[in-house]
Amino acid sequence: MKTWHGIGAGMLLLVALTGCSAAAEPNPDEVSDWIDSWDDQIPNSIGVLAGMATTPSNAQPGDGVSMSELDAVDASTIEFSCFGEETMSVDYTVETGPTAMNRIDEDLVCDDSPHVLSRDVVGITEVTANGISPTGLGAWAVVVREKK
């Protein structure tokens, strides 16, 4: 199993926004530990994408963490989990050969994770995802589970 992480701008926002919100902010160490927990082996996983959340104003189409050069794999599910915020949105793209499907699922409740984004996807060659929260705080992960 492979794990891809995107920290970059999200970590800078986490540091820059500390103390700027009236709501309880996620503890940076807990957020980091949560992301690191996705390095463990996930049953039936083709791969895991994980990163720090970004704000809507900083999220650009195609941004995020990518798992590419896949050999046309079949997935039973693609699942999204988040941590550190009450809700988070996910912008994700799944490429299957010459076609790509892009969706934004909004206001997914982090405490109800994981959320199934897609089922029975055939011939995946690339997956890109980005977790988006109003404050840019928190973290997210996407698991692509192998279809057996």
Domains recognised in the chain with CATH numbers: 2-146 (2.60.120)
Name the band, by pLDDT with cuts 50, 70 and 90, for residue 6. low
Check: CB of residue 50 under 8 Å from CB of residue 106: no
Q: Which stretch, 2-6, 10-14, 63-67, has highest mean pLDDT?
A: 63-67
Report pTM: 0.82
pLDDT higher than 80, residue 95: yes
- Whole-Å CA distances, 100 to 86, 93, 127, 131: 30, 7, 9, 19
Rounded to whole angstroms, the Cα distance separating 120 from 109 reads 23
Check: CB of residue 35 under 8 Å from CB of residue 27: no
